[in-house]
Amino acid sequence: SCVYLLLSIVNKGTNITQQLNLTLFLIQETEGNLYVHSFYRNKDQLGLQDQYFRNRTSLFKDQISRGNASLQLTGVEVQDQDRYRCYTNTIRGEESSFINLKVDAPVSKVKILRVENRIICSSEGIYPEPDLTWSTRPPSNLTLQNQTSIQQTEQQLYNISSSLILSDSETDLIYIFRNEETHSVSSALILFQLVCREMEIVSFEDSGHTLQS
């Protein structure tokens, strides 16, 4: 799952002075405006902060006078993906801007398991919804008989599992995770001589990783 996200709101790169009034709130068409964080009179003002964001927000107070009004949002969940409005009021005047927050939980750990004549590839806690395909090395005309299932958790993350019937040919396999929305690709090579073992590995976002024993 997501651990934290640094949400850059404003960065002027110039002196703002100490009198910075910052109000940030979440725009939701169905439930109204949820206040995320407020700062004015040189301190946090969290009386209107929605409980959902309690103890999850902080500013870099030592950098505010230099123009950095970035907000750090921790414990990020899929539900945080939304449009945010940032309102600032300084001696320069008032400004209002919008930020579309996108949440990404990429493939981090992949489990490879052999059960009888099938090899199973699975991963959990992914967002957005991934796609998993198989190929061979070297490329061949071999028909790969696979079944893939995807489940969404209460946290709106995705768990994916794909099983492949092993062929009689001694062929190395490649699993490929793709996400069309984030344009990310994660893959690994499974050597034929290792498919008889149960393995757990970390998958990297490249196309040249070899799964080791």
Closest CA to 177 of 188, 165, 190: 188
% of the chain surpassing 90 pLDDT: 15
Closest CA to 126 of 103, 144, 93, 99: 103
pLDDT tier for residue 24 given thresholds of 50, 70 and 90: low
Q: Is the pLDDT of residue 21 over 70?
A: no
pLDDT in tens, 181-209: 777 777 776 654 444 444 444 343 433 34
Q: What average pLDDT does the chain have? A: 74
Which tokens go with 76?
Answer: 């990020």
Name the more confident of 175 and 207: 175
pLDDT tier for residue 87 given thresholds of 50, 70 and 90: confident
Name the more confident of 167 and 121: 121
Point out the least confidently predicted range of 13-22, 168-177, 179-188. 13-22
Positive or negative: CA dihedral 162, 134, 129, 212: positive
User: How is the beta sheet containing 57-59 ordered, strand by strand?
Assistant: 4-7, 71-74, 57-59
Point out the least confidently predicted range of 93-107, 141-155, 184-198. 184-198
pLDDT tier for residue 68 given thresholds of 50, 70 and 90: confident
Domains, the chain, in order of start with CATH, read 4-100 (2.60.40.10), 109-211 (2.60.40.10)
Report pTM: 0.73
